[in-house]
Homo-oligomer: A and B are copies of this chain.
Amino acid sequence: MTESIIINEVGLRDGLQNQPLFVATADKLRLAEALIAAGVRYIEAASFVHPRAVPQMADGAELSALLPQRSHLHYMALVPNLKGYERARAAGYKKVAVVLASTDTFNLKNIKMTRHEAELACREVIAAARRDGIVVRAYISGACACPYDGPTRVNVVQALSERMLEAGATEISISDTIGAGNPRQIENILTPLVKAHGAEHYNLHLHDTRGQALAMAWAGIECGVRNFDASIGGLGGCPFAPGASGNVATEDLVYMLNEAGFDTGIDWKALRPAVALAEELTGQQLGGRVFQWMRSQELRACAPVPEQA
C-alpha cells in the first residue's frame, strides 16, 4: 500500500505575491487549472491582506469565486487578521492560514506588530474560525532563521508551534521563509513535536534559496511528516535577483517523493504546462531541476556519454 503525501501548491499565493506585476484574475485561474490538470489537489489560492500592502493579492474574492469546486480539491487562503479572515470566510474558504513570525523584528517589519501582538491576532482568528467550523493552519515563519535577526533557536519555534496548536490550529507549518535552514535543524525542530502530537499536525514550507529544500524535506519525511508546500517552477523570491529562489519547485519535490515510492497524486511531467504558463505570466525563467534536465535531454546536442564512475 503506497503512502500518500499532501503537496500544497503555494505558487498562486507565495509565488505571485512576490511578483512586481499584477497577474490578472483570469490568468491565475488558468494557472490553477493547469496545476489541477496535473493532479494538484491542495492549493493556497489567495491572501486576504490589505490590497495596499500586497496589491498582487487584491483579487482574492474574485479568484475564489471562479476556482473549480470538486470534492477532491482543497483550497486555503492566508489571512493576516480578523478582517482578512472575515473576507476569506465570505469567499467560501473552509481552511485559512495565519502567520506568526519567529521574532519581534520579523513581525514588526511584516505586519507592524510585536511577536506577542501577532500571536494575539492569530489567536483571535483561530477562535473565530473554530466557532465557524473552519480549519486553521498556523505558519511559523522564519522557523530556521529570521531575515533580520539571524538563526532561530529551535526551542523558540517549538514553543510557538505548541502555542498555536494549543490555541486550536490543527496544522503547523514550519516555514523556512528565507531558505536558510539545514536538514539537521528540521529534525531537531520536529522530533519532539511529532513525538508529542503526531506527525499529522505538521507541514514543511521550504524555500530553496541555498538548494537545501529537498534534503530538508527528506529530513521531514524521516520524522514522519507527510505534508509539504511547494511552488510551481520554484515561483517566488525576488524576480530581480537571479538565484534568490522561491519555494522548492513542485516538480522537484513531486519527482523525489514519487521516485521514493510515495503517492502525491501528481504526475511531475504533467506539471510542465503549468511551469510554462507561470513563465508566460511572470516573464521569469522558471522550472525546477527536473525540467532543466528534461530540456537538456531534448537539446540532444550531446549524445549521452556514460561515465566511468
Contact = CB atoms under 8 A, between A and B. Distances in A.
Nearest to A290: B210
A218 B184 CA distance: 9
Interface of A: 14, 17-18, 47, 49, 78, 80, 97, 99, 106, 109-111, 139, 141, 147-148, 173, 175, 177-178, 181-185, 205, 208-212, 214-215, 217-219, 221-222, 236, 238-245, 252, 255-256, 259-261, 288-290, 292-293, 295-297, 299, 301-302, 304-309
Contacts of A288: 211
- When all copies of this chain in the complex are counted, the total is 2
Nearest to A217: B215
Contacts of A215: 214-215, 217-218, 256
B110 A293 contact: no
Given A14-B309, A211-B293, A242-B296, 8 more contacts: A17-B308, A182-B259, A183-B256, A211-B288, A211-B292, A242-B299, A243-B292, A243-B295
B302 A177 contact: no
A306 B110 contact: yes
